[in-house]
């Protein structure tokens, strides 16, 4: 398919104009006109670009692209090397950040819920028109430890569990990636546990003192679902060849 058509199909589905984001969403680096092979990955790091080049990708779709607010504007060092490889090989980079978190069926939050067996019941913040965090329930009430073990099995990474008390887990709030600061919204929602990717020193105190379990399940580990779901969807609906490249990251 034509690159412009791919961008327009993704924009239509992800509606980036509905989100206030920290980076440009959509086509970030323009490559060749036709896209047959689409590589996907969580972050447009150099290792992903190298694998995409080796696989002869025409374009790369990621969750964490480039040109973040407050980042240095100069094209030097790491940024130079990444852009040089993309431009030399005429490979496009498409990045979708918050729109990919929030997509109701193929987004990072939706796919994480499926993976962990959580049934969504609503948004974490009811005032958001496009919620990027959700609340829901697990089928059977479990202990925090057993829930942690199930998450480890599903994501292939041991989560860090912060106990908020003796209670079991039935209701859950979750928001993938670096959303530990949204724990206040989970507390307001009154859930048993809150899952995100990363953790800060202050998250531990909020969990303990407000009585909500906190589960730090990995930023990378919780954000692999969205790009894979979109790659698979493009393969089925638009005849594109898709390959996901998992560049390991312990955080």
CB of 93 to Zn ion, least distance (A): 16
Which is nearer to Zn ion, 136 or 177 (by Cβ)? Answer: 177
Radius of gyration of the CA atoms of the chain, in A = 19
How big is the site for Zn ion, counted in residues (CB under 5 A)? 1
CB of 96 to Zn ion, least distance (A): 11
CB of 101 to Zn ion, least distance (A): 8
Window of 22-30, 117-125, 141-149, 171-179 that interacts with Zn ion by CB under 5 A: 171-179
User: The tokens of 181 are what?
Assistant: 């600061």
Which is nearer to Zn ion, 97 or 185 (by Cβ)? Answer: 97
Q: What is the signed CA dihedral for 205, 206, 208, 211, rounded to 10 degrees?
A: 170
At residue 127, what are phi and psi to the nearest 5 degrees? -80, -10
CA distance 112 to 75: 35
CB of 219 to Zn ion, least distance (A): 6
CA distance 135 to 190: 10
- Tally Cβ neighbours within 10 Å of residue 154: 16
CB of 116 to Zn ion, least distance (A): 17
Q: How far is CA 105 from the centre of its chain?
A: 13
CA distance 105 to 116: 15
CA 60 vs CA 148, 242, 246: distances in Å: 33, 10, 13
Question: Which residue in 177, 225, 226, 231 binds Zn ion (CB under 5 A)?
Answer: 177
Window of 7-15, 46-54, 79-87, 170-178 that interacts with Zn ion by CB under 5 A: 170-178
CB of 172 to Zn ion, least distance (A): 19
User: The tokens of 38 are what?
Assistant: 């689409």
Which is nearer to Zn ion, 21 or 30 (by Cβ)? Answer: 21
| Per-residue mark of binding to Zn ion, 215-244 (x: CB under 5 A) | ------------------------------
Window of 80-88, 142-150, 152-160, 176-184 that interacts with Zn ion by CB under 5 A: 176-184
Which is nearer to Zn ion, 177 or 231 (by Cβ)? Answer: 177
Which is nearer to Zn ion, 31 or 231 (by Cβ)? Answer: 231
For Zn ion, which residue has the nearest CB? Answer: 177
CB of 239 to Zn ion, least distance (A): 29
User: The tokens of 58 are what?
Assistant: 């025409």
Contacts of 53 (CB under 8 A, 6+ apart): 85, 89, 91
Which residues bind to Zn ion, rule: CB under 5 A? 177
């Amino acid at each position: 398919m034509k690159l412009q058509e791919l961008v327009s199909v993704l924009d239509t589905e992800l509606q980036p104009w509905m989100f206030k984001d920290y980076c440009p969403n959509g086509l970030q680096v323009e490559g060749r006109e036709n896209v047959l092979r689409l590589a996907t990955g969580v972050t447009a790091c150099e290792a992903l670009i190298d694998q995409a080049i080796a696989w002869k990708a025409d374009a790369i779709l990621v969750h964490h692209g480039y040109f973040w607010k407050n980042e240095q504007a100069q094209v030097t060092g790491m940024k130079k090397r990444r852009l040089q490889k993309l431009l030399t090989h005429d490979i496009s980079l498409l990045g979708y950040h918050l729109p990919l978190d929030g997509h109701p069926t193929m987004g990072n939050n939706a796919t994480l819920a499926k993976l962990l067996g959580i049934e969504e019941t609503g948004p974490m913040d009811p005032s958001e028109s496009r919620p990027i965090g959700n609340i829901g329930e697990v089928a059977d009430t479990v202990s925090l430890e057993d829930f942690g073990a199930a998450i480890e099995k599903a994501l292939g990474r041991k989560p860090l569990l912060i106990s908020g008390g003796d209670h079991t887990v039935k209701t859950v709030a979750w928001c993938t990636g670096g959303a530990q600061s949204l724990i206040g919204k989970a507390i307001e929602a009154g859930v048993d546990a809150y899952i995100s990717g990363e953790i800060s020193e202050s998250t531990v105190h909020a969990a303990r003192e407000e009585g909500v379990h906190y589960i730090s399940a990995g930023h990378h580990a919780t954000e692999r679902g969205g790009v894979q779901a979109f790659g698979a969807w493009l393969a089925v609906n638009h005849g594109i060849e898709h390959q996901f490249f998992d560049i390991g990251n312990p955080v």
